[in-house]
Chains A and B, each alone.
Chain A
Amino acid sequence: MTQETIVGLLVSVLEFGTLLYLAALGETIAEKAGVLNLGVEGMMAVGAMASFWIGAETGNPWLALLFAVVVTAAFSLIHGLASVVIGADQVVSGLALTILGLGLAAFFGQSLALTTVLSTARFSALDLGPLSDIPWIGETLFSIDALSWLALSLGAVTWFVLTRTRMGLSLRAVGESAATADAAGTKVAATRLTAVAIGGGFAGAAGTYLSLVLSPGWSEGATGGLGWIAVALVIFGAWKPGRVLFGSLLFGGLIALGPRLQTFRCQDGEDIACLNFDADPTLVSMLPYILTVIVLIILSVRSRNRPSIAPAAIGLAYRREER
């Protein structure tokens, strides 16, 4: 491994990590309010298609991002309507959202598959002047694009709002015990719908990252399972924005590492670290899910004698008249 290959790996980790983080952060917010949303894969597809469409039409990435966030947030409210307002099973409704989203994105994106997007419509690296010249960090962290910085800031904002504000307290209360929150005067349905819509908006931003940064373009099936990794990440991150960030970088790292295991070879003289091992790339691509299962086991063993770390009301519909 030379410095270039390690820097290249870290850049890839940051790219895949950012994408996963945006989606997983949104899912964290929805789940904190007690709404499991398995529609992330579909929402991400809608966001990717919508942002690529506007990006290709206008050449403005921010307009594309805004459009994708709004459209995906609105789209996610279908799940909100079904699971929060009507009280349908969250698992079924979320799965339906994924199927619906993949179908709608494929349908409305049909004419986009053969178009390309102007380079101005892509989010590119921010120019941080001398900071970018710092070895290692300059080429990796200080070379990330505007949307990645936005994702990091959103993570900090989410953490602050969830843990340090009354609004966050209400949201968490709704996710822990909707009846108690209701008695305390919190509007349960409105809070949950807001959380779902914010989660949708975040998934739309993740889709934007996919179609305007990671691999500029749109075609049916572009999300390729990244949305499901994001759902697993929330559990892995124990519903905490900071741990979810760690998990995103770890899982993003595994995605980036898989193909690199085929290219790392020991070269005389050039190496600063020499790895020469045979790892099956399919095994590496399973690792995020294996890790999630392990974390789930650890969490449930640990929570035997104390309250579960998961929001207590997750998956439960709330109807005041059934109290």
Chain B
Amino acid sequence: MTSTRKALLALLTILALVAAACGSSADTATEGTDEAETEESSEGTDGGESDVRAAFVMVAPVGDAGWNFQHDLGRQGAEAATGAETAFVENIPEGGAEFDEAVQNFIDDGFNVIFATSFGYQDATLRFAEENPDVTFEHISGFLMNDTNMGNTFGRMYQPRYIAGMAAGAATESNTIGYVAAFPIPEVIRGINAFALGVQAVNPDAVVEVNWTSTWFGIPEETAAAQALIDSGADVLSMHQDSTATGQAISEAGGTFIGYHSDMSAQVDAYLTAPVWNWTPRYSEIIEAVEAGTYTPEAWWGGMVDGVVDIEVPESSPVASEMQDVKDSILQGEFDVFDQGQVIAQDGTVIIDDGIIQTELTNPFDPDAVVASEGDEIHDGVLLNMNFFVDNVVGEIG
């Protein structure tokens, strides 16, 4: 091989690596920081001056209308509300050296609050928290924390899911509602059950048929699952996924789509409404607490009343006023999704009756660990370990 050829080949290789990086983190890290620095120079426009510099680590690109998009909106909102400088990196895989690299860079740059926004970051986040006592860490969607500088945050998405289920139950004509679900873990199962209970409240004849994809984001898999549900008779689809593929499939079939994560009306023709995340209030609260020196770690599970989750009631729905009533009741703390009469499992077992547990419930990952016994009052542990489907759900767990 001649030296010219070698040089050309080397050039091509570099080009490939640069392009690969385009889709990942390297450039956005500096981009985010630059942006933040610009804002620092024009400090104190609306939220006032702040000593807090907050960095966000995201698992996928922020421009996808899904989970990460909402976290980035929360970052921007918190920056506007508190005047704190923020920066972010996207496309950082879980459980890899990239996460360590990104967090260490932020710490070296003097960032003193780190938001780790994906479940798989939690072990590494705890490790960083132990090593960096002067930095505050908040992990999203996990359960690990410590007593000094790491807490965790999540939202009671099941509340707006219930209201979304009401919209779906009223919209279906075939009485089959499809649900494209990612993985059979308590978070997803809880969402399906809440949705199905909402369906049941307005339409006792309708069923929610679940189809698992075993991916959080997979357009071919989600499309195939959505098509399977449509062929099985579903005219309304909802999902627990990160793409809008389910919405595209049901739009094609002329049905109704209940989204997730964010307002997907711009991307999906059949969009009706969606339970959405709104991280701005919680992020602002944490930044302000760090600023004031009052931050104490907690396992924070906020609901609609805290603004972290929400749903827009669609005017066009025939049950709009019922949905609004439930929304108001939840906001006033008078309505608990799983504390409404009997919650019956697929096999007919009564699990909960007026908020009292009727049968022993165990941890799905550790069947020997009892979560709640007969006669107990319902508590968050029951929701966090949920491992059964309610009786109007069609499909199996796993």
Contact = CB atoms under 8 A, between A and B. Distances in A.
Interface residues of A, number: 55
Contacts of A115: 266-267
Given A116-B267, A220-B64, A259 B12 contact: no
B8 A113 contact: no
B16 A99 contact: yes
A96 B224 contact: no
Nearest to A109: B63
Interface string B26-68: 0000000000000000000000000000000000110111000
Given A12-B224, A116-B266, A217-B244, A224 B12 contact: no
A225 B220 CA distance: 9
A315 interface: no
A119 interface: yes
Interface string A214-233: 11110111111110000000
Interface stretch (A100-108, A161-169, A184-192): A100-108
A260 interface: yes
Interface string B216-248: 011111111101111111000000000111001
A114 B23 contact: no
B209 A8 contact: no
A5 interface: yes
A259 B245 CA distance: 15
B231 A260 contact: yes
B64 to A, nearest CB: 5
Contacts of B211: 259, 262-263
Interface string B4-23: 01001100110111111111
Given A215-B249, A260-B231, A103 B23 contact: yes
Given A4-B231, A113-B64, A220-B64, A100 B224 contact: no
Given A115-B267, A116-B268, A116-B269, A110 B227 contact: no
Contact of A86 (B5, B63, B245): B5
Contact of B232 (A5, A214, A258): A5
Name, among A9, A16, A104, the residue most crowded by chain B CB atoms within 10 Å (CB to CB).
A104
B1 interface: yes
B228 A262 contact: yes
B225 A259 contact: yes
A311 to B, nearest CB: 24
Give the interface size bracket for B toward A: 35 or more
A256 interface: yes
Contacts of A221: 217, 219
A177 B9 CA distance: 25
A111 B63 CA distance: 7
B395 interface: yes
Name, among A82, A103, A113, A215, the residue most crowded by chain B CB atoms within 10 Å (CB to CB).
A215
Nearest to A107: B22
A102 B229 contact: no
Contact of B63 (A88, A114, A216): A114
Contact of A82 (B12, B219, B223): B12
A260 B268 CA distance: 24
A252 B397 CA distance: 26
Contacts of A104: 19, 22-23
B29 to A, nearest CB: 15
Given A100-B20, A219-B243, A224 B220 contact: yes
Nearest to B234: A263
B63 A113 contact: yes
Contact of A114 (B8, B15, B22, B266): B266
A220 B209 contact: no
A263 B244 contact: no
B106 interface: no
B213 interface: yes
B132 interface: no
A103 B21 contact: yes
Given A107-B19, A115-B266, A216-B248, 6 more contacts: A103-B24, A107-B22, A219-B65, A224-B221, A226-B220, A262-B228
